[in-house]
């Protein structure tokens, strides 16, 4: 009788070969097209090997994904295990590199030199450095531009900023431990009170740099856990006010900023309590594209802090406009203005790198694609479009259709490792993916009656998937994909493409430990519906109330 303690699938035990124990299908069964059957007891007497008509579908190629338990789509995410391919090992080393970046910058693992941590704070800080900061670092960029290089050292002598670190660390831990959710919220409110207390005793002027780090980092926290889009918008408004005071030499509206801070401390994010900003009603008529080349060819007087924090702000600003209430238009500036003002800080090269976009640590080669996304999302807040906005949308549609990402420089192709080439190409693929989503949303804004099965839309969807298939399931830059996945995914009508997209989102979400990506998956299930209960489909792109409620 077979030993009941023996491990492995019944097929391998019946064939008397060693099983590699991977579920639901071991490599031996996969190679030989057997139905792989696992059990904990002895092989049943009536057990027979059963050949499959064809091999199981392997969605992710060349890197496969194994589920340790069956996929239940609307419940907690299944535990995923990525096969130990060469690419997976390289990715693990890259994440380790991101973890250790802070060690020589004042963030030694779970402690800081000269800082007396409690055991609880040490745990939260460790989770912040090794978890949260790694998860929000999307690009292969110069080490001095990585978020950890900019953010962590400034917490060394700043207890208020450290409280922000603890709040983000608690949020990271809540991914696998739901009981940490309430605790993470308490740490958030505590850090907001610390900030309020500091500003009651000190002037904001002269402290703009680290306060901006606080605002942008907390904005990332909100997006990472995807629980409060209104609070996220408040952080963006506060960030923009600090940027205008810090870099654009504009006077800070102290009354407005204090009201923002008070609202965040009390967790009452109601736009009606804030003073409105002055916006130019004709701003959407501004020239869309700035002369990027002229910026890139000159030496810029820009610091690594300015580059990393501003770019982080702009990415969050660009995608948050998608699910904002229409009333946000009265409180925040148009991306046509914002990008025109901040572009000079984003493009001049700071360091000599193999590829120029390694000087852009957040959006990388996709910087111009996200500018398209910001302006597309802004126009969607004005739906239905008037005649002037339709003209702007048509210009943006042309730019998105003919968007071309940068190509790898010759020295990279011939002198850099395959790993570096893949990482840099991933950034270019993200640009293509974002541009396709822009095309889809702009097409719907311009022609609300257009159906998703229209040939021009399905052609864009096919190109979207061709780029997604080239993106590794281990890609750090996948954290930038929540917006294009939501927009393009709403127009997907083929069952095999839907299954593939869900598996990729799930894999990215588990790898990044991001509730934000998982919320996109839930959004798509609701949007698609089922055979018996059809969802609204891509019409949801025009319904901001539905978008907000679904993402919450």
Instruction: Tell me the average pLDDT across 15-23.
Output: 78
Total number of domains constituting the chain: 1
Question: Is residue 81 in some structural domain?
Answer: no
Question: Is residue 386 in some structural domain?
Answer: yes
Residues listed for the chain: 552
For residue 59, what pLDDT is reported?
A: 28
Question: Is residue 11 in some structural domain?
Answer: no
Other CB atoms within a 10 A radius of the CB of residue 1 amount to 6
Residue 232 pLDDT class (50, 70, 90 cuts): confident
pLDDT digits (tens, 9 = 90+) for 192-228: 998 888 888 888 888 888 999 999 999 888 877 766 6
Whether the pLDDT of residue 30 is over 70: the answer is: no
pLDDT digits (tens, 9 = 90+) for 450-505: 999 999 999 999 999 999 999 988 888 888 999 999 999 999 999 999 999 999 99
For residue 27, what pLDDT is reported?
A: 67
Q: How far apart are CA 474 and CA 507, in angstroms?
A: 8
Cis peptide bond prior to 76, omega within 30° of 0? no
Instruction: Tell me the average pLDDT across 285-308.
Output: 62
Half-sphere exposure of 277 (CA within 13 A, CB side): 23
Whether the pLDDT of residue 541 is over 70: the answer is: yes
Closest CA to 290 of 238, 328, 246, 341: 341
pLDDT digits (tens, 9 = 90+) for 40-50: 667 777 788 87
**Exposure b/e, 11-32, CB count within 10 A at least 16 = b:** bbbeeeeebeebebbbbbbbee
Name the pTM for this structure.
Answer: 0.80
Q: How far apart are CA 31 and CA 48, in angstroms?
A: 18
Question: Is residue 59 in some structural domain?
Answer: no
Question: Is residue 75 in some structural domain?
Answer: no
To 10 degrees, what angle do helices 180-201 and 159-173 make? Answer: 170
Q: For residue 388, what are its two tokens?
A: 């002037």
Average confidence score pLDDT of the chain: 80
Query: What's the alpha-carbon Rg for the chain, to the nearest Å?
Result: 24
Instruction: Tell me the average pLDDT across 238-257.
Output: 80
Cis peptide bond prior to 384, omega within 30° of 0? yes
Closest CA to 289 of 375, 389, 401: 375
Residue 72 pLDDT class (50, 70, 90 cuts): very low
Q: For residue 158, what are its two tokens?
A: 């700043």
261 lies in which domain range?
A: 86-551
> Which residues on adjacent β-strands are paired with residue 82?
65
For residue 366, what pLDDT is reported?
A: 95
pLDDT digits (tens, 9 = 90+) for 327-341: 777 788 889 989 988
For residue 82, what pLDDT is reported?
A: 45
pLDDT digits (tens, 9 = 90+) for 368-408: 999 999 999 999 998 899 999 999 999 999 999 999 988 88
Question: Is residue 361 in some structural domain?
Answer: yes
Whether the pLDDT of residue 28 is over 90: the answer is: no
Cis peptide bond prior to 24, omega within 30° of 0? yes
Question: Is residue 19 in some structural domain?
Answer: no
Q: How far apart are CA 120 and CA 38, in angstroms?
A: 41
Q: Where does residue 115 fall: left (phi above 0), alpha (psi -120 to 50 degrees), or beta otherwise?
A: beta
Whether the pLDDT of residue 12 is over 80: the answer is: yes
């Amino acid at each position: 009788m077979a030993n009941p303690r023996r491990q492995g699938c019944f097929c391998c035990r019946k064939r008397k070969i060693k099983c590699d124990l991977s579920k639901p299908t071991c490599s031996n069964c996969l190679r030989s097209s057997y139905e792989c059957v696992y059990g904990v007891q002895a092989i049943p007497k009536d057990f027979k090997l059963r050949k499959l008509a064809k091999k199981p579908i392997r969605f992710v190629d060349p890197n496969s994904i194994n589920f340790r338990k069956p996929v239940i789509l609307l419940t907690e995410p299944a535990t995923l295990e990525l096969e130990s391919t060469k690419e997976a090992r390289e990715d693990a080393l890259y994440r380790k590199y991101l973890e250790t970046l802070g060690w020589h910058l004042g963030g030694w693992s779970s402690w800081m030199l000269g800082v007396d941590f409690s055991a609880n704070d040490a745990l939260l800080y460790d989770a912040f450095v090794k978890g949260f900061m790694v998860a929000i670092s999307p690009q292969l960029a110069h080490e001095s531009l990585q978020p950890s290089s900019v953010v962590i050292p400034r917490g060394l002598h700043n207890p208020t900023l450290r409280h922000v670190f603890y709040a983000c660390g608690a949020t990271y831990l809540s991914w696998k431990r739901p009981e940490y959710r309430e605790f993470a919220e308490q740490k958030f409110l505590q850090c907001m009170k610390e900030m309020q207390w500091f500003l009651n005793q000190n002037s904001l002027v002269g402290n703009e740099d680290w306060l901006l780090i606080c605002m942008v980092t907390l904005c990332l926290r909100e997006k990472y856990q995807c629980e409060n889009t209104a609070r996220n918008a408040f952080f963006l408004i506060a960030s923009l006010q600090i940027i205008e005071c810090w870099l654009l030499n504009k006077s800070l509206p102290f009354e407005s900023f204090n009201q923002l801070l008070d609202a965040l401390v009390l967790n009452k994010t109601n736009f009606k309590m804030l003073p409105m900003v002055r916006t130019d009603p004709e701003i959407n008529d501004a020239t869309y594209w700035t002369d990027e080349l002229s910026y890139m060819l000159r030496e810029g007087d820009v610091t690594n802090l300015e580059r990393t924090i501003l770019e982080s702000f702009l990415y969050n600003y660009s995608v948050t406009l998608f699910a904002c209430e229409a009333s946000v238009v009265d409180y925040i500036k148009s991306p046509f203005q914002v990008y025109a003002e901040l572009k000079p800080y984003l493009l001049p090269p700071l360091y000599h790198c193999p590829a120029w976009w390694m000087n852009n640590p957040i959006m990388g080669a996709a910087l111009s694609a996200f500018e398209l996304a910001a302006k597309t999302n802004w126009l969607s807040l004005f739906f239905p479009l008037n005649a002037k906005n339709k003209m702007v949308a048509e210009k943006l549609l042309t730019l998105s259709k003919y968007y071309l990402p940068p190509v790898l420089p010759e020295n990279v192709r011939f002198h850099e490792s395959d790993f570096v080439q893949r990482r840099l190409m991933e950034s270019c693929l993200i640009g293509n993916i974002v541009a396709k989503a822009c095309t889809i949303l702009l097409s719907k804004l311009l022609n609300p009656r257009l159906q998703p099965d229209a040939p021009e839309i399905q052609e864009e969807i096919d190109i979207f998937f061709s780029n997604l298939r080239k993106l590794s399931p281990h890609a750090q830059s996948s954290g930038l994909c929540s917006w294009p996945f939501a927009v393009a995914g709403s127009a997907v009508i083929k069952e095999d493409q839907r299954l593939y997209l869900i598996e990729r989102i799930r894999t990215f979400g588990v790898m990044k430990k991001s509730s934000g990506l998982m919320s996109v998956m839930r959004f798509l299930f609701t949007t698609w519906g089922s055979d018996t209960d059809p969802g609204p489909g891509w019409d949801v792109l025009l319904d901001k109330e539905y978008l907000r409620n679904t993402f919450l």
